[in-house]
Amino acid sequence: MRELIEPDSIKSAASTAAFDMMTFYSGNQSGQIPGKLAGTWWEGGALFMTLIQYWYFTGDTTYNDEVSVGMQWQAGENADYMPSNWSSYLGNDDQVFWGLAAMTAAELKYPDVPDKPSWLSLAQAVLNTQAARWDTTACGGGLRWQLYPYQAGYTTKNSVSNGGFFQLAARLAVYTGNTSYADLANKMWDWSKSVPLLNTQTWHVGDTTSMESNCTDLGNIQWTYNYGIYMMGAAYMYNFTDGGQEWADAVYGLLNVTLETFFPDKYGGNIMSEVACEVNMKCDRNQDCFKGFLSLWFAFTTYLVPGTADLIIPKLQGSAQGAASQCSGGGSGTFCGRRWWQKTWDGTQSLEEQLSTTSIFTATLVGKTGGPPVKASTGGTSKSDPGVGGGGSTNDQGSTVLLKPITTGDKAGAGILTALVLATILGTAFWLVK
């Protein structure tokens, strides 16, 4: 098992994990689609977000061409990450991960692509299109998980879609200084805590709630990324409000429950575990990504809320050391499994497990390399375009105007359009199980 102590040893481990991760990516090959992974679209955004952060902390530019080409290729015709080839089956959670990847690029000053939309404008476009989907047909608001009635999950409202919107709005507020984005973040936060998804008394985060119950029920499987997505957004709001007490309470409340839930004492207390699926080895490819997101959201939280560093950094270091023990599999002998708490390779290997391992190694560099995310007032160079995305508009001062509520007429028109699309494309209704 390699020792991960000095930055050079950590960078070497991250480099190996990233290299093995990219063996699963074919979008840079002749005849393949840039940014598209086999069997999934949203994970392309997750992959590139991971590689942007890897570049930032390690300085390794090896994969920058793949990132830049793929991020722009998948932005779609309206530069809002709703490409026509895949938009018929996407959910709000799928789209928002690409928006978070673009936001990460803006905050970390990842090089812009000449004559292409700026990273910031791509993130703004995602938020604008999602703000226009605010749904009051049940539950008093929030975003549906899926976008179209033929999708299983259309009547579900879930934490990652709504928490992703909250986080993206909070990050845009900090980067731009625009209070309209903070208003959207507050609106989503208040809605999330009005339903069982986010309990601000116990700081437990659920996974799903259904519109059929008017969002009184709860799918309560515990996942790392649901906690991380709200915690990271709260950390940005803490920064935006110069240490507001509401957001301090939120950050520490969510952090403490995250540490209690996903760093079990039986594994030593410092190693992250996706507790819902690792013990029985039933994690699917999506779930194998989740620890990677939490790892890097933890890292950036230490910049935004410095008092969290003493709690977070030992967990990152312990998890990285545990993950290193898993990176001894596959033909190369360096592929990583999912059980970071197990002393020997668990026999599994995938892009998603490599993504999480690359992320935990990268996150361990926090405080050693890199620095806080920038904003427009502290050196950010990505250009703003607040009216992009088919939903936003600007006032005379160039600030985003909060989008009008969706009306009954809007919904009726959308229903007619959906029916026409279904009749043309499908002929009959069908269910697409995500």
Task: Give the total number of structural domains in the chain.
Answer: 1
Q: Which of 45, 41, 62, 173 is nearest to 107 (CA)?
A: 173
* R_g of the chain, CA atoms, integer Å: 21
Which pTM was predicted? 0.90
pLDDT tens digit sequence for 278-295: 999 999 999 999 999 999
Is 307 part of a structural domain of the chain? yes
DSSP H/E element including 395: none
Q: What is the number of residues in the chain?
A: 434
Per-residue pLDDT of the chain (434 residues; tens, 9 = 90+): 456 779 999 999 999 999 999 999 999 999 999 999 999 999 999 999 999 999 999 999 999 999 999 999 999 999 999 999 898 999 999 999 999 999 999 999 999 999 999 999 999 999 999 999 999 999 999 999 999 999 999 999 999 999 999 999 999 999 999 999 999 999 999 999 999 999 999 999 999 999 999 999 999 999 999 999 999 999 999 999 999 999 999 999 999 999 999 999 999 999 999 999 999 999 999 999 999 999 999 999 999 999 999 999 999 999 999 999 999 999 889 999 999 999 999 999 999 999 999 999 999 999 999 999 999 999 999 999 998 986 433 332 233 334 433 333 333 333 333 333 333 333 333 233 33
pLDDT of residue 4: 76
Any idea what the CATH number is for the domain that residue 413 is in? 1.50.10.20
Copy the structure tokens of residue 175: 């980067």
Is 2 part of a structural domain of the chain? no
Neighbouring residues of 284: CB distance < 8 A, sequence distance ≥ 6? 277
CB-CB contact of 339 with 278 (8 Å):
yes
Is 357 part of a structural domain of the chain? yes
Is 37 part of a structural domain of the chain? yes
Is 288 part of a structural domain of the chain? yes
Is 258 part of a structural domain of the chain? yes
Tell me the β-bridge partners of 311. Answer: none
Is 432 part of a structural domain of the chain? no
Is 115 part of a structural domain of the chain? yes
Q: Are strands 327-329 and 208-210 parallel, antiparallel or unpaired?
A: unpaired
Domain extent for 125: 7-425
Side-chain-facing half-sphere of 386: CA atoms under 13 Å: 21
DSSP 73-118: HTTTTTTSS--TTTGGG-BHHHHHHHHHHHHHHHHTTPPPPTTS--
